[in-house]
Structures are given as structure tokens and as C-alpha cells.
Amino acid sequence: MVVLPALPENVLQPVQLLKNVIRSQFNNVKLVFTRSLFFKYLTYLRVEHFAPLLNYSSLYKNNSIMVKYRLANSISIINPADSPEDSDLPVEYQHGNYILMDDAREKEFLINETVKYFIDKFNSPKTQAEVLQEVALDVQSDVKQIEKKCTAFFKFLCKRKIVVPEDWEEPIASSEPYFKIGDAMGDWQISEIIADKKYMDIYLALHKTKLIQCVIKLLNVRKIADEGRYSDELLDLKHEYSMLQRCQHIPFIGQAYAFSESDPEGAYIVLEYIKGKPLSKFLKQTENITESDCYSISKDILQGFALLHETNLIHGDIHPSNIMVDEDRNVKIIDLGLSIEVNIEQDELVKFGGVIYYMPPERINISSVTKFSREPDFYSDVYQLGLILYYIFYRKEPFDGFIWEELSTNIKKSTVEYPTLSFLNFPVPAKIIQIIAKCLQKKPIKRYANAAALLNDFKKVVFETPAFTS
């Protein structure tokens, strides 16, 4: 989850006058975004981790001493303790915490009383100096000390557009798909809205004359009021198309047929329609999955990534939702949006990111706004493939944790447990466990060098397995 920082220890001392509102002394400040009220990754951060971010806030102005700031119109704060029966928060998080709602970005954050106290200062327009003076008076501290310790926190509020300049015109964007079922989109007719995402519409469409089905991934211009954001998303879409073009020779990767950026509705990619389910849903919803299926699906996945690595491409975001399996057990790898070339130029932008559960230990920071550091490589892909194999045989991830600090600590330090029986109750061979364990080594150098080396070992074991060869 995305997180707000903590203000450092010993900055604000709680005083009886505030009735313990500042009970955490601006320590362990929590702000976490969730989707659909599912709270998963609560992160504890400290302000010193924000130094690299201070130059990137478009809303923070150098003359902020004179500029008045206010709470953005899209922001509201509710107390989950007021209606605990409607809250998805664990009981231990329901008291002393609040939910910050950001309607503009369709995100929700969990914050503690200290963050709420600071943010509430901007319910009416104030300059940064006025707020720091108020805080200093509240906690009976020197204003220069407060300014020294809290400026980075304030800038981060601006970066997240939680606090905005008083005269800032808040962009208004549509949240609706551009097309409806039955609408025409050039030579295509929309037959289904597959997904309605923040900036993207994903449609199933039928070509009017060729009568073939494809998936159209549209960067909906109506959903992005900010031109800079649209340009960034357009670059990502172009990058994904470029990577897919490089993979046309790989039968295990979903193909891209066309790209356009000249249409008024926005840029889009036309993609191969894959009749299947994400791996996670396939394993949970498909009846009569066999031991042989587990081996054959695993082998096909590894073959696809071995070919990808041989093309000198790194996927960078391998997880069950990016692997499709159809009813005939055929495998397709999708979503190369975070892929990079091995020999990338030093000045080329690398977009970090990915699914938190599937981040390798060397790429995550336990206490930082920038959760993911270090670009992906063959070793990180191998780690994620190890987690995929683990999921196929056990239908679960090896690490858990409600808050980010717990989850990331487990990923970096905990030992993986390997049950002797799979989720289908067949014995998992010791050699398969050894292969997965090698993929999941904490130190990258101890893993397989690439997917081809992993595939080679896996095939040796598979061909010794009666369930696969029979």
C-alpha cells in the first residue's frame, strides 16, 4: 500500500491540554491506501526516508511561507469506531485510527490520531508557517524545531495532493468507461467491458468484417484530467506494446496486433483474446485439476519465461494474475508493462513496481515510501517464478503479514516452509522442493541465473515423475 511518513520521535511531546490527541508523539505515523475497503499493507515510516522525494511535489511552492494551503476537496476522514460493524479493519486497528478517503483517486488510507491532528490543521486555508506555529504552541515546543522536523511531512502531503494550494483548481475526470457494449470503436464493435480501471478501459471487441475477437486496452482520455499524467501513462502503454512486439516469436506470450495514439478517445493497444482464467482463479475454480496438470502448467510457464530471458527481456512483474490458463491447460503470459531490456541505457527510465507478495527481498524497503528499490533482473524474475511454482503446488504464498512492515520483514528474513503434501494431497517430490527453495534464496546470486537454467532442472525432475510421464 502507498503510505504517509512518520514524523520523527521526540518532536512533539503530548500534553494534557490536547487530551492525548498527539499520543504517538508524531511517531509511527501511518497512512496506507487500500482498495475496496480491504486493508492489507499498513506501513510505518519515518520522515528521514522522504529526503529523496522533496523535489518532486508539483504543488509545493518555494514561497510556501506566503501561500495558503487547504485540504483537497476529494479528501474526507471517517472514524471506523463509529460503525465497527461496517468496517473491514481488524479489531486492533479500529480504535485510535481513522480512514482517510481520497475520492479523486479512489483510494483509502488508514491514519492514526497524530496524522489526523496535523491534517485537520488545513480544514481552513493556512500557510505552512501558520500551521507550524500552531503545532509549536500546542505542544509547547520551539517552532524552528517543528519546522525542521515537519517540513518533509508537509511536502509529502502536497505530493499526494492531500493538501493543495488554496487557489488550486482541482481537475475533474470521468470515472466511466468511454464505450458501452454495442458501441463502435473504429473497425471494432464492443461486446464486453472486461475491466474498468483507474485510467484504462479493457474491452472485448469483435472486428466488423474479419469477425475475430480481440482485447482492446484503451487509455481513456476522459479519465485523466491532467495532461502530464496522460503523457506518463501513454509512455507506459507504448513501452508495453514495444515489449510485446519483441516477443512475437514466443507462443506462450499473449500477442499485440496494433497500437494507435491518434484517436480522440485515447491511445490503445489491440491484444490477443485469451480464453482462460488467471492462474490463481484457475487453481481455485477449476474442477478435476490433477497432479499432472500441476507439472505441465509449471513446465509451460517456465518455457515461456525461458524464451523471454533468451530474448534478453526481463518481465519484472510475475504473479498469478499475469499468467492465463485456458480449459485445455494452455498457458499465456500477459502484461509486459514493467518489462525491461537487459542492456538498458543508464539514462532510460525504469518503472519500479509490482505485486507486493511477489517482490524479491533485495528489491523491497521495510520502512520507506519508496517500497521498491533496485530494478528487476533475471534473478528477481527467477525468485518470482519460484513463488509461482510454490503457488501451483500449495495454492498459497509462503509469506503473509497485515502491515507492510510485517510482510516485508517476513519476505526478507523468514524461512519458507514446504509442506510435504500439495493442496491436492499428492506428495511434492523433494527435488521439486529443492528447485523452489533455490529460486527463493534470499541472496540473488544463490538462485538460478535465469529461467532457462531453472527450466532445465525442472524438466529433469518432471521426466522422472510418474504422474507426468504416465
206-217: per-residue pLDDT in tens?
998 888 999 999
Predicted local distance difference test score (pLDDT) of residue 27: 39
Q: What is the pLDDT of residue 229?
A: 81
The mean of the pLDDT values for the chain is 78
Contact 412, 360 (CB under 8 A): no
Enclosing domain of residue 447 = 277-469
Higher per-residue confidence, 436 vs 227: 436
Residue 1 lies in a domain: no
Mean pLDDT for the stretch of residues 376-396: 94
Question: Contact, 46 vs 30, CB < 8 A?
Answer: no
Range 144-170 average pLDDT: 82
- Phi/psi at 3 (5° precision): -135, 150
Q: Check whether residue 297 and residue 189 sit in a common domain.
A: no
Greatest Cα pair distance, the chain, in angstroms, is 78
The pTM is what? 0.71
Has residue 259 been placed in a domain? yes
pLDDT at 467: 61
* Cα 198 from chain centre: 13
> How far apart, in whole angstroms, are the C-alpha atoms of residue 142 and residue 13?
11
Query: Domain total for the chain?
Result: 3
In a domain, 58, yes or no: yes
Same domain, residue pair 208 and 159: no
> Cα Rg for the chain, rounded, in angstroms?
25
Identify the pLDDT of residue 51: 37
Mark whether 58 and 112 lie in a shared domain. yes
Percent pLDDT > 90 in the chain is 36
Amino acid in the structure at residue 281: K
C-alpha cell of residue 312:
534478453
Query: Domain of 428: which CATH number?
Result: 1.10.510.10
What pLDDT score does 292 carry?
Answer: 92
With vertex at residue 306, the alpha carbon angle to CA 409 and CA 218, rounded to the nearest 5 degrees, is 80
Which of 272, 296, 316 represents a domain boundary (last residue)? 272
CA dist 396 and 279 (Å) reads 12
Write out the chain in H/E/C secondary structure. Answer: CCECCCCCCCCCCCCHHHCCCCCCCCCCCECEEEECCECCCECECCHHHHHHHCCCCCCCCCCCCCCEEEECCCEEEECHHHCHHHCCCCHHHCCCEEEEEECCCCEEEEEEHHHHHHHHCCCCCEEHHHHHHHHHHHHCCCHHHHHHHHHHHHHHHHHCCCEEECCCCCCCCCCCCCCCCCCEECCEEEEEEEEECCCEEEEEEEECCCCCEEEEEEECHHHCCCHHHHHHHHHHHHHHHHHHHHCCCCCCECCEEEEECCCCCCCEEEEECCCCEEHHHHHHHCCCCCHHHHHHHHHHHHHHHHHHHHCCEECCCCCHHHEEECCCCCEEECCCCCCEECCCCCCCCCCCCCCHHHCCHHHECCCCCCCECCCCCHHHHHHHHHHHHHHHHHCCCCCCCCEHHHHHHHHHHCCCCCCCECCCCCECCHHHHHHHHHHCCCCHHHCCCCHHHHHHHHHHHHCCCHHHHC
Q: What is the pLDDT of residue 456?
A: 95
Same-domain check for residues 92 and 199: no
User: Where does a domain end: 224, 244, 272?
Assistant: 272
User: Can you tell me the distance from the alpha carbon of 153 to that of 29, in angstroms, rounded to the nearest whole number?
Assistant: 10
Could you tell me if 244 and 333 lie in one domain? Answer: no
Q: Is the pLDDT of residue 352 over 90?
A: no
pLDDT surpassing 90 at residue 91: no
- Same-domain pairing of 288 and 154: no
Name the CA dihedral angle for 161, 166, 169, 171, rounded to a multiple of 10 degrees: 20
- Do 443 and 418 share a structural domain? yes
Residue 439 is placed in which grid cell? 529460486
Query: Under 8 Å CB-to-CB from 346, ≥6 apart: which residues?
Result: none
Residue 342 has pLDDT above 60, yes or no: no
What is the pLDDT confidence band of residue 114, given thresholds at 50, 70 and 90?
Answer: confident
Of 272, 294, 327, the residue at which a domain comes to its end is 272
- 30 lies in a domain? yes
pLDDT more than 70, % of the chain: 74
Residue 231 CB contacts under 8 Å (≥ 6 apart), including other chains:
none
Question: For the residues 167-176, what does the mean pLDDT come to?
Answer: 75
Instruction: Judge if 263 and 376 occupy the same domain.
Output: no
My answer on whether 216 and 83 are in the same domain is no
For the cut 60, the answer to whether the pLDDT of residue 141 exceeds it is yes
What number of CA atoms fall less than 13 Å from residue 26's CA on the CB side? 23
> According to the model, what pLDDT value does residue 455 have?
96
pLDDT digits (tens, 9 = 90+) for 401-412: 766 777 888 898
Q: Which three cell numbers stand for residue 247?
A: 516477443
Instruction: Please say if the pLDDT value at position 259 is more than 80.
Output: yes
Whether 416 is in a domain gets the answer yes
432 lies in the same domain as 340: yes
**Higher pLDDT, residue 34 or 452:** 452
**CATH number of the domain residue 197 falls in:** 3.30.200.20
The yes-or-no verdict on residue 265 having pLDDT over 60 is yes
Domain co-membership, 314 together with 435: yes
Same domain as 76, residue 51: yes
Do residues 220 and 211 lie in contact, with contact meaning Cβ atoms separated by under 8 Å? no
pLDDT-based confidence at residue 173 (cuts at 50, 70, 90): low
Domain assignment present for 9: no
Instruction: Give the total residue count for the chain.
Output: 470
Q: Are 469 and 296 in contact (CB under 8 A)?
A: no
* Per-residue pLDDT reduced to its tens digit, 18-49: 333 333 334 344 444 333 233 333 333 333 33
CA 424 to chain centre: 30
User: Does 5 reside within a domain?
Assistant: no
